[in-house]
Structure 1
């Protein structure tokens, strides 16, 4: 067989990524719901639909600072107003004068009523007098205190917010699965909601494995590799909204690894390990966690997936509580790609978020790229919107340089298993990364 044929045969033995993801995600369930105080709910996902128990606004109120009046009094249709000569340059040649019978602020609570030819000075948010159907802005008047002259007549209803105008009682405010944003917190509070039922943020523990690992603050040298993965994956889990805990480095010691994972099940909803997923002489995680004991398979199944970079992934459960564990490759670029395609959807599913996958777009490829046959490649890329609509995508460094490419990327170019070359000008799929730039 030729080298190409050997590569194709090897690729045919790999599990398609879509099949693998489906088999993993079907084994996960969203975390049990919690009833949380509104101030603690931000960043979580609703477990139930939320309906407005009260209207917003709760009462008729002024939307601007000004004078609450009857529109017929200022439009010329009533008998109450007095007409006076307008100041020089005023359109229409005359102004309207009303008696100011009181002041209303946002804290006013006694009901009051307008009589013909009168008005109230009101602050934005103040309850409207009975019969008021317009608020004349302060800047359209002479700002009088006992009487006010109005230079410009607004339309009926101007400056007025009616009770329930924005959100009537019974309005569906948000469906289950909705992310609780700051604006949604404001909507809940405004309609009288103090507690909501949410899925808790998953607690995710990150462990880097390998005798060769040393902590950050120094450079790598032969026999020593700086642990970039546990720091990067902790940040990635936090970006998704998880409560992320970095355990640090664990040596390739079977009992030490088992004991560490067992201890972490007490505070974790998901454990992520990095390193040791291959079949090489130093890949201890795969050997330890997949080892059969007492005739039973190991707690974690390792699968060679049609994914580039990083084909070897592991998934299973550990401990009496059967806490899910995701095992990612040791190469930093491959670990971050593995997180995107496997760990991130798992966290989203545990959190009850929908959808679990990143949003994607179709984009115009600006540069010809090649890709390994039989593997689904995720390559760092820069996505931009076109002036006339649609998107363009510029590939960044991939393959062995995936880590440096990811640092610059705002998207991941996805090249399917059957793609060996994607020509400039073709249309490709791109996952959009949520990077705040």
Structure 2
């Protein structure tokens, strides 16, 4: 999971966003591969190429309900002069013993059924009388094949080229082809392909297990009654949803009171199911000492390389941050600020890349683009801080949503992008091209 504890440089140092992220990604390592059954592997990343063991489809088969015939027997067929063929039997999907189609003969064939020996093409049932001797099949009668006529014959009213309506063996993938490359994220189409070529399990990096824990004695769970000075715990819900969106298996612990011993014991209890821990709240001035005390003695405190480094970052929102590893397995832990917008922005910038790294992905970051700022007035930004403002992006333009306050949850709910204002800029005029982080 993590190779070593993060570097430390004292609490007075102001870290850049890039330095903090670099430290996280240098510490977090991809999870070890395991063999998983197909449905359990959904959302996971392949660690090896998958080769096709058998061609798909494995045999020539019909793409239509109709009749398997020889090309010469239906050449020149028309409604005025139909080809009359002897129906020698049925060929159904999954049928092993196939009948032989000889000159002047036809076999009723169902969609997906193997092309019988001797047959060269398939004429759809709509091109025939369906064995009823009543002209071309239309309407409701076109939905199924009727038994052959009283004399066991079918009339064909159109010619068919060789291998018409035939799915050729290996036309999808051939034996020996590479079906999927290592590094592929397994979604529903990939799961379907693996099943189609007979793979019941695959070797993947598992989805990381992320435990999300919010801190604060003032926090109350939704649906409970608010008391004086209390607020609802939204951060643990938001960050758990973010972790799942990033590809993790996420567990929400909820709010823990600002008590070092309670926080410490809760984290220790959760380590057994965590590949990554995320806390929110208690990293700024005021609750800082309590959280620092709690996180400095979690798990095996004598284990070399463990520890959490609390930092100040040159960014807004999200200045206070904590990062390190805890417990005997050096489980990575990211301590985020408690303000809703600060915690969300911090997750997108730091936690999401850590989760994607644990998954073994190469591209761990949200996509970015350049866009023209549309606003009624210039944006202001504190000197020396990289600011991330919420915005909506469309057609090469980005518009700010809400203000710069880190408590504005409603504005965050309407944003689909982050507007990045660099450290060396204190204002950005409307019409200026800016960097945008796309969140959708």
Question: What TM bracket, shorter-length normalisation?
Answer: 0.7 to 0.9
Q: Could you report, residue by residue, the CA deviation over 1:59-103 in whole angstroms, capped at 9, with x for unpaired residues?
A: 111112112222333234xxxxxx5652xxxxxxx4333332221
Measure, in 2, the Cα distance between the counterparts of 1:110 and 1:424: 74
Measure, in 2, the Cα distance between the counterparts of 1:357 and 1:325: 19
The offset of 1:392, in angstroms, is 3.1
Measure, in 2, the Cα distance between the counterparts of 1:318 and 1:415: 34
The offset of 1:326, in angstroms, is 0.6
Aligned to 2:134: none
Aligned to 1:227: 233
Alignment partner of 1:313 out of 312, 318, 321: 321
Q: Please show how residues 34-433 of structure 1 align to structure 2 within 5 Å.
A: 34-76=34-76, 86=80, 94-144=81-131, 145=148, 146-218=152-224, 223-280=229-286, 284-286=290-292, 288-289=294-295, 299-367=307-375, 369-372=378-381, 373-384=383-394, 386=395, 391-400=396-405, 402-433=408-439
Measure, in 2, the Cα distance between the counterparts of 1:301 and 1:17: 15
Q: In the alignment, is the contact (CA less than 8 A) between 1:275 and 1:283 conserved in 2?
A: no
Of the structure 1 ranges 281-290 and 364-373, higher mean CA displacement relative to structure 2 is found in 281-290
What secondary structure does 1:114 align onto? coil
Measure, in 1, the Cα distance between the counterparts of 2:100 and 2:123: 17
Change (3 A) 1:297 1:147: closer
The offset of 1:113, in angstroms, is 3.0
Measure, in 2, the Cα distance between the counterparts of 1:63 and 1:234: 46
Change (3 A) 1:170 1:236: same
The offset of 1:310, in angstroms, is 1.2
Measure, in 2, the Cα distance between the counterparts of 1:426 and 1:68: 67
Q: In the alignment, is the contact (CA less than 8 A) between 2:89 and 2:99 conserved in 1?
A: no
Aligned to 2:28: 28
Q: Could you report, residue by residue, the CA deviation over 1:350-373 in whole angstroms, capped at 9, with x for unpaired residues?
A: 122332112233334333551414
Measure, in 2, the Cα distance between the counterparts of 1:353 and 1:274: 25
Q: In the alignment, is the contact (CA less than 8 A) between 2:78 and 2:156 conserved in 1?
A: no
The offset of 1:376, in angstroms, is 2.5
Change (3 A) 1:126 1:271: same
What secondary structure does 1:26 align onto? helix
The offset of 1:161, in angstroms, is 0.8
The total of aligned residue pairs comes to: 404
Q: In the alignment, is the contact (CA less than 8 A) between 2:305 and 2:330 conserved in 1?
A: no
Change (3 A) 1:140 1:306: farther
Measure, in 2, the Cα distance between the counterparts of 1:270 and 1:85: 71
What secondary structure does 2:108 align onto? strand
Measure, in 1, the Cα distance between the counterparts of 2:68 and 2:436: 55
Of the structure 1 ranges 12-21 and 267-276, higher mean CA displacement relative to structure 2 is found in 12-21
Measure, in 1, the Cα distance between the counterparts of 2:198 and 2:319: 51
Q: In the alignment, is the contact (CA less than 8 A) between 2:79 and 2:157 conserved in 1?
A: no
Measure, in 1, the Cα distance between the counterparts of 2:78 and 2:343: 79
Aligned to 1:3: none
Q: TM-score, normalised by structure 2?
A: 0.84
Cα root mean square deviation, aligned: 2.6
What secondary structure does 2:96 align onto? coil
Measure, in 2, the Cα distance between the counterparts of 1:147 and 1:177: 55
Q: In the alignment, is the contact (CA less than 8 A) between 2:306 and 2:325 conserved in 1?
A: no
Change (3 A) 1:298 1:168: closer
Q: In the alignment, is the contact (CA less than 8 A) between 1:50 and 1:175 conserved in 2?
A: yes
Change (3 A) 1:117 1:319: same
The offset of 1:165, in angstroms, is 1.1
